[in-house]
Amino acid sequence: MTKKLSQLKQDFTEGLSQISRFWGFPKGMGAIFAVLYISPAPLSLDEIVEQTGLTKGAISTEVRTLARMGLVHRSSKLADRKDYYEAESDFYKSIRSILKERQNSEFDSAIRSVQETLKELESGSVSGDEAEVQFVHERIKALQEFFNAIDTLSKAVIKLESLGLGNVKTILSVLK
């Protein structure tokens, strides 16, 4: 049995919405990305409204988030004051961009708070059962080291010119 393209597009959009939710993003965001990703030409805000069923307001804000993450790009046509949006199709590029974005996020500020805690322990200014202080100190130090490893890794990824499948395979071969 055959299926209409329009139906297939809708199914695809539905799928990406779920994936988006899984990653902790609004499902509308996944839908917006999906319609842009499978559109041969950039779309205007109103066209996105039409294809997703969301309102202008929601799209306006979510498309900005997507742009910040490098997953979509805003462009414009001469003599047309509409904004147009298109999806980034190089996902590896997006990943780098997302990691970069993350560095000024709340995540890092939370990590810094752990760092603070560690400093207090190192300066010896924490009172309480000696052995327990010692234990807590070691644990938090280990956690901090783990965070640093992740940080190192993600910074390196950001620097990579291209993180394609080829490179992934290279990495794996090194690790046997």
Partner DNA sequence: TACTATGTTTAGTAATTACTAAACATTCTA
Partner DNA sequence: TAGAATGTTTAGTAATTACTAAACATAGTA
Q: Which residue is it, tokens 């805690």?
A: 117
Q: Which residue is it, tokens 């409204």?
A: 49
> Of 42-50, 53-61, 66-74, 139-147, which part binds a second copy (CB under 8 A)?
139-147
Contact, 62 vs 92, CB < 8 A?
Answer: no
Question: For the window 80-109, what string marks contact with DNA as x by the rule CB under 7 A?
Answer: xxxx--------------------------
- Nearer residue to a second copy within complex by CB, 61 or 89: 89
How many C-alpha atoms does 123 have within 13 Å on its Cβ side?
A: 7
Per DSSP, the three-state class of 168 is helix
User: Restricting to residues 34-63, which ones interact with a second copy according to CB under 8 A?
Assistant: 37-38, 40
For residues 95 and 100, give the distance between their C-alpha atoms in angstroms, rounded to a whole number.
9
Q: Which H or E run includes 85?
A: strand 83-87
> Residue numbers of the site for a second copy (CB under 8 A)?
1-6, 8-9, 11-12, 14-16, 18-19, 22-24, 37-38, 40, 89, 91-92, 105-107, 110-111, 113-114, 116-117, 120-121, 125-129, 131-133, 135-136, 139-140, 142-143, 145-146, 148-149, 152-153, 156, 160, 164-165, 167-172, 174-175
